Homo-oligomer: A and B are copies of this chain.
Amino acid sequence: MSQTSAADPKVSPTADHRDYQALRKRSHECHLLASSASILSWDREVMMPEGGIELRSDQISLLARLYHERMTSPEIGDLIAACEADESLSADPLSPEAVNLREWRRQYDRQVRLPSSLIEEEAALASRGQHAWAEARKNDDFNHFKPFLEKGLDLLKRKAECYGWDDPGEPWDALAEDYEPGCTAAQVAEVFTPLRTDLKSLLDELMGSSTQPSNAFNELKLPQEDQRKFVEFVARSIGFDFHRGRLDVSTHPFCSGTHPGDVRLTTRFHDDNVNDALGSTMHEAGHGMYEQGLPAEHAGTPMGRAVSLGIHESQSRLWENQVGRSRAFWNWLSPRLGEFFGEATSSLSQEDVYAGANRVKPDFIRVEADEATYNMHIMIRFELERAMMNGQLDVADLPGAWKEKYREYLGLDVPDDRRGCLQDVHWSMLSMGYFPTYTLGNLYSAQLFESALEAIPDLESRFERGEFGALKTWLNDNVHAHGQRYRAAELCEHVTGKPLSAEPLLRHLRGKLKPIYGL
């Protein structure tokens, strides 16, 4: 009986379908090339001596070319078509086979739509654009970057035309598909608009309050070696598995995941900002626990990959903000500071530390922004890049439009372009459609965390005892284990029962920040 079942394709499609197995093997090979390139990139940022840069660029370019050639080979197209013709494979649209086929088709169609001349033009322009941007930022000289951004915008419009977008829709949607599949500018605007209005009121209230939290914790000088031991302890405590990962140092913190068994975080240290090191570490550990939680049996196929950048960011923000800036978390961690920093932290009260980790201050630089104002930085970028892609904003007018929005949303007069529209690398790398994933991450994290709290009502008292396993397991089961089974919006509805909304994030920020500011 069991033998008959095993041989019956309706029961076990993977046992027989040669085309599907061939496609899976190709997907795995592509993953081997891409993950080799990932390790080489990680090594470049973290380990490589400076003399290695030239060879390394050539190595990564070759692997990228081999990857692209394999991904777009006609053989792959034929195998996908053959699998699609086999209805048993897609009978259950949530089966691994159906999910993989859906995603292989999506990737293949996108890749073959781009002429290789455009890909080469893009790589060359991105490389020159980044150099021009770095120079322009250093010298506060927007005009030096302007021609590159104009060329880049023209190329991105052509790229969007190649990809195409659904009706109704707009060119921005075609680009965002690379980062947040299925997400449109209209959908983003629908959630961002109420968020902006309510966030503005909250910020006005907080900044107008006579109670302002102490900044003592953020200004303390602490030895970097002590900070390193401290953040490693926290990463381990919240559940990052060091048998399947590492933590190192790089200029810009990041997470590199090539397999659930090999996930690498980086953080950074400043003598006088342990909160930055802690926040960065918990953020990257959140990304890392997502990668470690993906189903290893599907590694190298879409079922073994993260849903989108927005969902990825929800995992990092959840650990950084919902956990790492909560009172319960600091009730556990504050009393342990002395173990790492001796007398250096003994003058701080528990309230100093908790409030310091939650201080809100509108400022010019996105990457240094607090949890609340951060979203304003993102919304400004989204609105500006959308307007540029729609031809409603000329590159020449970008610096002025930037300053106007900072005045309106954050009440700030941006003094120069270095601290204005030249601060981020993304557009110089021809990444448009990327920025909103940061705030989508904040929104998803708040909505997911509310559901986790419903499922595990004593979550916060667990945090007070340093127990984070229940939350991690809940995320493993509800988010990580699905791979790309659901699109981001579907996953949100599947797990939380509701479409994405600005309300949970606003509830989270109001509920936490108003008491700290005596409101």
Contacts and interface: CB of A to CB of B under 8 A. Distances in A.
Contact of A29 (B50, B56, B62): B62
A63 interface: yes
Contact of A55 (B35, B48, B55): B35
A260 B59 contact: no
A14 to B, nearest CB: 19
A261 B36 contact: no
Interface stretch (A97-105, A243-251, A445-453, A497-505): A243-251
Given A43-B43, A262-B55, A63 B50 contact: no
Contacts of A49: 242-246, 261-263
A43 B39 contact: yes
Given A35-B59, A63-B36, A261 B51 contact: yes
Interface string A40-53: 10010001111111
A262 B56 CA distance: 9
How often does this chain occur in the complex, in copies?
A: 2
A467 B273 CA distance: 43
A462 to B, nearest CB: 26
B59 A32 contact: yes
A33 interface: yes
Contacts of A40: 36, 39-40
A35 B40 CA distance: 11
A299 interface: yes
Contact of A258 (B55, B243, B245, B299): B55
B244 A51 contact: yes
B62 A32 contact: yes
Secondary structure call for the A interface = helix
B55 A261 contact: yes
Given A33-B62, A36-B36, A299-B55, A47 B50 contact: no
Contacts of A54: 259, 261
A66 interface: yes
Nearest to A54: B261
Interface residues of A, number: 37
Interface in A47-101: 47-56, 58-59, 62-63, 66
A246 B47 contact: yes
Given A36-B36, A47-B246, A261 B58 contact: no
A31 to B, nearest CB: 9
Nearest to A51: B261
Interface in A1-60: 28-29, 32-33, 35-36, 39-40, 43, 47-56, 58-59
A492 to B, nearest CB: 30
A262 B39 contact: no
Interface in A286-306: 299
A116 to B, nearest CB: 18
Most buried by B among A29, A40, A47, A263: A47
Nearest to A262: B52
Given A43-B43, A66-B66, A246-B47, A261 B52 contact: yes
Contacts of A48: 262
A439 to B, nearest CB: 32
A377 B48 CA distance: 37
A243 B299 contact: no
A59 B243 CA distance: 20
A51 B59 CA distance: 25
Interface in A271-318: 299
Contact of A53 (B28, B36, B245, B261): B261
Nearest to A46: B47
Give the 4 A-B residue pairs with the shortest CB-CB distance, closest first: A51-B261, A52-B262, A51-B244, A55-B259
22 contacts: A33-B62, A35-B55, A35-B59, A36-B36, A39-B40, A48-B262, A49-B243, A49-B244, A49-B246, A49-B262, A49-B263, A50-B244, A50-B261, A51-B241, A51-B244, A51-B245, A51-B260, A51-B261, A52-B244, A52-B261, A54-B259, A55-B299
Interface of A: 28-29, 32-33, 35-36, 39-40, 43, 47-56, 58-59, 62-63, 66, 241-246, 258-263, 299
Given A28-B58, A39-B40, A49-B242, 15 more contacts: A33-B62, A35-B55, A36-B40, A36-B62, A36-B63, A39-B43, A47-B47, A48-B262, A49-B243, A49-B263, A50-B261, A51-B241, A51-B243, A51-B262, A55-B258
